[in-house]
Structure formats: structure tokens, C-alpha cells
Structure 1
Amino acid sequence: MKGDRRKVLHILVSLRFSGAEIMLNAAFKDLSEGGFEHHIIATGEDVGAYAETLQSTGYQVHHLPFRPSPSYFWRLFSFIRENEYSIIHIHMERASFWTALTAMAAGGRCVRTIHNTFRFPPRLRRVRGIQRRLMAKMGVAMVACSTTVGHNEAAEFGYSPAVISNGYCPDRVVFSDLAQRARSRSILSIKDDDIVIASIGNCSSLKNHSVIIESLLRFAPSRPPLYLHCGEGHADHGEGERASELGVQDRVRFLGRVPDIKDVLAASDVFISASSVEGGPIALLEAAAAGICCVTTRVGLAPELEGLPNVYLVPADPGAIAETVRAITDIPLHERVERGKALSTYVDGKYSMQINAQKYREIYEEKSAISSINLLATAS
């Protein structure tokens, strides 16, 4: 491979309005410092609805549908080699080992980010463990998106990846002080004295949104919370039907995909995540940066925030969630806002997108230097 040695190719599945894609979109400017040129290749059946957003930000987006066949990997090999990518950043779990081998055969240096807490049946776990350890020995930079994911990789697969915690984009968040809370509630037509809870994330069985819906029954009928449900797929997963079955459909707003979540968070008293599995949930970081109270299960980044003001770790249980929300709303609002300032400051100092992007740029720089040394050695 000759030519530009600072081209980065990010490999994902379909490009959705989801964590890794949102981070890449927000981090484009910071990742591009130092002259790095970033491309994305989607390997899903379709390129994905978020592709247009990433393109408008500045990424060049390509599409190569995955097939479990030698012809697919030959096409990927040819694509990498013809476009002279020096760094291949693999974001997907599917076939990541074979993707790394293909990329390295084409002359690229690899980074592999593990975006979730993966647990497999025994046989597959052994296979994935062998593959991960081989990748690490071959020089692939193995990176976990949170401390929890890093611990899981060590326990499940027998190696220790580096940890670069996910980051949030400050431009997507506004701090929820008293004035902002009032403005956001006015925009969303929410009463000042309503108890408002919110979740952000596309629907799946792992998100446990039904647990949040069921928790609404545990409140006094005279003052039930309003639940702002942000994310796609509630109809496909029966969440609207479940709300109707429980008779709480009037207390749930299914907002669908919300590109700008500033007002949703600023208007809320409590952000809730009932997920059974997470990697490094950006929505939790955004809620914490907004300063609002965060009720979350002990997954992903949540244990890293334990003990901070306005952070509450609970099981994915309707009763536990309702009890915690009631306790929070018994705290005077001005006191919650003051606590939120400390939480927001902490999150901004540790989990901002700039910090995340800088750490990845350092890896890219290291990989680029290795590629340049090898290129000089070949030329001589």
C-alpha cells in the first residue's frame, strides 16, 4: 500500500441512530485532527438510515453487505487495498476476527472496539476467547468502551483490553437548572408540577422498557408520572400494547426517534435505564451531564458513576424503580439541581467526546507510525 497513510476505515453493520454511530458523528472533527481522513463501510443488508447524517458530517460512507463466504472477504481485502486505508477500526462483533485478518493481509493496522458486554454459550465463548487473544498478540489494539466491558472481556475471554470509556457530545446536552427546566417543559407542554421520567434508546428485550411502563402502576393514582419514551420500535416490541393493557397509555408519550434530546432531558426529573445489558450507554452520560437524577441498573458505565450525586443503582424491577423515583421527588427540586451541578461537572471532566477522541487519535498515531516504518523498510 502506497500513498496516504492516514486514512481510517470504520467497519460497522447497518448505520442506525445508535451509540457507536452517534459517537462517530459527534467526534468527527476531533478524530480528524492530525490529518486523519475517515471513511465508514456498512456491512449490513442495508446501509442504514443514519448514513445520510454521517455523510453530511463529513464521513465517506460505503456499503458492502456481509456474507459468510470467501468472496465477501476477498471483496473487503480488495476494497481496503485499493483505497489504501492504513487503519481499520472494527466496531462490530460479527466476524471481527476474520475481518481483522483480512484487513491486516491488505496492509492495514487494526483497532477493535468492544461496544457491549458479550456472553456466549460455552463453546462459542471458547472460540471467541481464542480469537480475541490471537488478535491481541497480532497487534490489534483491543479496546473496551467501559470498565465493566473490560472486566467482562477479562472474565469471559481471558485477556485484558485497554479501556477508553464512551464519551458524550456536550452540544447534545443543556444543563437542567430551574429556568431551563421551565422552558423545556413549556416547549413539551408539560405541567410544572408533573413528575417526569424519561428513557432514551431503541426498543429491544434487553432495554426492559416494559419494566418502566409497569412501574407506573406503583405510584399513587393522584400523581402518576409522565413517561417520555424516546426511541424507535415500541410498536414492534409490544410496548404500546402493554401500556394499554395496564391502563397507563395516557401517561406514556412514545416520541420515537428524537434527534435533539436537550428538552426531553431538561424537562425530566429522572432518567431511567432498566437495561439488562449495556456497553457504555451514551444516554446515561447525557442525562448525567444534564444534571438530572439517573436511576439505572448496574450495567455498562453505571458502576463507574456509583456514589456520585443524583445517581441511583437499582435492579430492573418495577417496584424498585418506583420506590427510588418517589424518594427522589421527595427531595426539593432546588437541592436536586445543586447536586446535579456536581454530577455534570464530573461527567464533563471524564467522559466528554473530546477526551474519547483524543485517546483514539493516540492509537491511530501509533498505528500510523508503525505503518510508516514498515513502508520505509519495504522501500529500502
Structure 2
Amino acid sequence: MPTTDPACILQIADYSAPFASNFLSSLFRLEGLVRDRLGLRTAYVLPEAARERPWIRTAQDAGAIVEFLERGGSHRQRIRTLRCLGLEHRAALLHTHFGTFDADAAVAAWRLGRPVVWHMHSPFLTAGSWRRGVGERIKFGLVARLLVDRIVAVSPSVAEGAVAGGAPRSKFSVVLNGIDVERAHPLDPADRSALRRRTGIADGDVVFLLLGWEPLRKGADLFAEAMASVSGESAMHARGLVVRGETNEAEVLGMVRSAPSVRVIPGVPDVAELYGLADCFVSASRAEGLPYAVGEAMAADLPVITSDLAQVVAVYGRAGAGVLTFRSGDAKDLAAAMARLLATSPEDRVRLGRANGAFIREGLSLRRWSEEMIAVYRSVLGTPEG
């Protein structure tokens, strides 16, 4: 057990994407509030695969403390590393994200005599291999019950799914994701027009955008099928863009080859440019927690079409008519939603998008998210407010 006063929160995340993201913006915003409200530093523990990413160097140049953990190591090795980092940085609390290091951090925190918080960004796994399913039930039914102080879920339905899988209800807090509206914002009209021209988008085209980092889960196949079958007079102006990941270009191209109006493009560091290409964002996901991308697209003043996953509709659907839904997994229903969007006037699409942007800025800001996370930390640490 540490013999000195705690000085740091360890943010432990299985994140090594090529570009910075809303997730990182959230943690960096929280870091400032942790320092100001709790008097604690923040250190980030990320996979070795993140070490050479440009955003790592940017964060370190700005003063961020970053450590690395071998994702492929054994549980024993990862527990030892996390315990050593906890001692080195005088950790007050360990906070994990994305599941990979949850059990390791729970054991390391127990050995340190410090609390641990798990953050559930995705639903409880009910599909996949039998072995993985058993592992998830042991993790939530035993490890969470015995060693974890709090589980933060990104939506009520994510929490309920984990409780149904054996997790203790009493340990859950629900904190809806916040959206970085400085990162995802509408482009100036002149800049947007120039960007679309450079990308080969003609005046009058109506562009639907889908992010295909994990193309099957994100529904790239459904998107292509819908784009190929959408009908009506305005369908001739419909264009689709699917953003591929670093290593899945062939997989994505295979999924969309049946839709001549769909192009596959690489990701870019500036997400405002991606959303600036589009007239409508599509989330065709088969499974999600509470996707940042839907909130980002709304913050960029875009109308959105999303699969009718309960948590997505419950949170983002409150924005109103600018969020259209379709039956999850149903390409024909997605095509019908696209046709409805195509039938609206450009002026109405702008109006719907602006209403979405106002909804995000007023109700799902990073400031609100950070304040709620500080309340979770105070509760776990037993630190009174003021």
C-alpha cells in the first residue's frame, strides 16, 4: 500500500487510433477539472501501439503524462505494470476505459489499496464465443462485485445489460457522453463548398456519410445496400461516403461494391472536414454504447439517420425531427429513411441540422460530462465538495 499521500488519477484506456478523438478531448477536459477541483494530477496509460501516434506527441508537448502498457502481455504482467505505475505516480484512483484492462486494473488497485472505476462505453457482450461470454460473466459477476468501486455506463440501457449479465446494480452510475463542440463544428459555408468541390462532390449532390472503422458492426453493408436501392426522383443526386480504417480498405470495398454511388475515403485528423462533406450522417450500427459520432455529426449541424438502438434513440432522439431512425439491420428501412431525407428541401435539411447542433450544445457538452465525472470521483474517494 502507498505510504505517501495520493496525487494522481490513472486513466487507463485501450485506445491507439490513428487520430485524436472526442474520447481524448473528454479526458483532457476532465484533467483540468480534476486538477482544479480535486488537487490531483492525471496520468494516462495507453497501449504500446499508441506510442508513435502524432496525437501522443502533441499531448506530451502540452504537458500530458503518458505511460504505455503492453496489450499482448499476460494478466500477471499487466497487473504488475499497473501496480508499479500506481506506486510511481501515487495514484488516488484507477479509471479504465474500453474493457481490455478492467480486470488487471481491479486487481492492481486492490493491491495498492486504492479504488477503481470501470467505464463501460459499449454494451455487455452477449454474442461471440462461449469462452468470451463466460469470461464477461465472471468479470462482471465476480470481479466487479468484489473489487470494483464504481462502474460508469454511457447510457441506462448499457447499465441494464450489464446488470442482466450479473453486474451489481448498486455500483452503477450513468454519465452520458459529452461532445467536444470545438472539435466537431459546422464549417463556414464558403469553406464547405470549396472542400466539397475538391472532393468531387457536385452542386446538388446530397451526401450521406458513414464511418466504417469496424465495417460489419457499423453497418457498411447495410449502408451500401440501402444506397443501391433508394428510389425516387431525387435519388439520382444521392451519394454515399464510407470512411475506412487504417487496415480495412479491402474489407470495406468488398462491402460497398454493389453500390456505384458509394465511395470509400480515408479518415482525416480534422473531423469537422468529414462532417463538412456530408448533408446527412448515417449510423447503421448493429451494436453501440452511445456513439460519439452521432453526437459529433449533430454538433456539426447535420441531420442524422440512425438504427433504432434503444440507448441511441433515448438520448439523441430527444433532439426531434432531425434524428431519423430505421429498424436495426434492415437495409430497406434505411433506404426509406434516406428517401425521406432526400425528399426534404435543402433549407429544411439545414434547419433540421441546426436544431441538432443546438441540442448538443445545450445538453451534451463536455463541461456537463466533466462535472458529472467529478461527482463520481468525489463519491468514490469520499471527498466532500467545496
Kindly indicate whether the alpha-carbon contact (under 8 Å) linking 2:204 and 2:237 is maintained by their aligned counterparts in 1.
no
Which amino acid in the other structure matches residue 23 of structure 1?
A: S
Q: String of CA shifts for 1:312-338, please: whole Å, max 9, x gaps.
A: 121233222222111112111212322
Q: Secondary structure at the match of 1:118?
A: coil
User: In the alignment, which residue of structure 2 is the partner of 1:313?
Assistant: 325
User: In the alignment, which residue of structure 2 is the partner of 1:218?
Assistant: 229
Q: Secondary structure at the match of 2:178?
A: coil
Kindly indicate whether the alpha-carbon contact (under 8 Å) linking 1:117 and 1:149 is maintained by their aligned counterparts in 2.
yes
User: In the alignment, which residue of structure 2 is the partner of 1:203?
Assistant: 214
User: In the alignment, which residue of structure 1 is the partner of 2:69?
Assistant: 64
Kindly indicate whether the alpha-carbon contact (under 8 Å) linking 1:235 and 1:241 is maintained by their aligned counterparts in 2.
no
Gapped runs of 5+ residues in structure 1? 372-380
Gapped runs of 5+ residues in structure 2? none
Distance 1:229 1:112, change over 3 A: same
Distance 1:48 1:94, change over 3 A: farther
**Normalising by structure 1, what TM-score?**
0.84
Q: String of CA shifts for 1:9-55, please: whole Å, max 9, x gaps.
A: 11122422466445335655455433432111124566463533443
Which amino acid in the other structure matches residue 329 of structure 2?
A: A
User: In the alignment, which residue of structure 1 is the partner of 2:374?
Assistant: 361
- Residue 262 (1) aligns with residue 247 (2): no
Q: Which moved more, 1:17-26 or 1:4-13?
A: 17-26
Kindly indicate whether the alpha-carbon contact (under 8 Å) linking 1:116 and 1:278 is maintained by their aligned counterparts in 2.
yes
Which amino acid in the other structure matches residue 312 of structure 1?
A: L
Distance 1:304 1:335, change over 3 A: same
Distance in 1 between residues matched to 2:200 and 2:33, nearest whole Å: 36
Kindly indicate whether the alpha-carbon contact (under 8 Å) linking 1:231 and 1:257 is maintained by their aligned counterparts in 2.
yes
User: In the alignment, which residue of structure 2 is the partner of 1:141?
Assistant: 150
Distance in 1 between residues matched to 2:365 and 2:143, nearest whole Å: 28
C-alpha displacement at 1:219, in angstroms? 3.2
What is the root-mean-square deviation in Å for CA atoms of aligned residues? 3.0
Distance 1:72 1:170, change over 3 A: closer
Q: Which moved more, 1:323-332 or 1:359-368?
A: 359-368
Distance in 2 between residues matched to 1:223 and 1:192, nearest whole Å: 13
C-alpha displacement at 1:309, in angstroms? 2.1
User: In the alignment, which residue of structure 1 is the partner of 2:336?
Assistant: 323
Distance in 2 between residues matched to 1:108 and 1:126, nearest whole Å: 24
Q: Which moved more, 1:253-262 or 1:70-79?
A: 70-79
Q: String of CA shifts for 1:202-244, please: whole Å, max 9, x gaps.
A: 1342112122122221135971522222241474552113434
C-alpha displacement at 1:201, in angstroms? 4.8
C-alpha displacement at 1:62, in angstroms? 1.0
C-alpha displacement at 1:294, in angstroms? 0.7
User: In the alignment, which residue of structure 2 is the partner of 1:108?
Assistant: 114
2:89 aligns with one of 80, 83, 94: 83
Which amino acid in the other structure matches residue 206 of structure 1?
A: R
Task: Provide the aligned length of Structure 1 versus Structure 2.
Answer: 366
User: In the alignment, which residue of structure 1 is the partner of 2:303?
Assistant: 293
User: In the alignment, which residue of structure 1 is the partner of 2:168?
Assistant: 159
Kindly indicate whether the alpha-carbon contact (under 8 Å) linking 1:25 and 1:57 is maintained by their aligned counterparts in 2.
no
Kindly indicate whether the alpha-carbon contact (under 8 Å) linking 2:294 and 2:304 is maintained by their aligned counterparts in 1.
yes
User: In the alignment, which residue of structure 2 is the partner of 1:374?
Assistant: none
User: In the alignment, which residue of structure 2 is the partner of 1:376?
Assistant: none
User: In the alignment, which residue of structure 1 is the partner of 2:365?
Assistant: 352
Distance in 2 between residues matched to 1:302 and 1:205, nearest whole Å: 21
Q: Secondary structure at the match of 2:209?
A: strand
Distance 1:70 1:28, change over 3 A: closer
Distance 1:187 1:27, change over 3 A: farther
Kindly indicate whether the alpha-carbon contact (under 8 Å) linking 1:289 and 1:343 is maintained by their aligned counterparts in 2.
yes
**Normalising by structure 2, what TM-score?**
0.83
User: In the alignment, which residue of structure 1 is the partner of 2:36?
Assistant: 33
1:52 aligns with one of 53, 57, 72: 57
Distance in 1 between residues matched to 2:279 and 2:247, nearest whole Å: 22
Kindly indicate whether the alpha-carbon contact (under 8 Å) linking 2:12 and 2:101 is maintained by their aligned counterparts in 1.
no
C-alpha displacement at 1:341, in angstroms? 2.8
Kindly indicate whether the alpha-carbon contact (under 8 Å) linking 2:220 and 2:256 is maintained by their aligned counterparts in 1.
no
1:341 aligns with one of 354, 377, 380: 354
Distance in 2 between residues matched to 1:172 and 1:45, nearest whole Å: 24
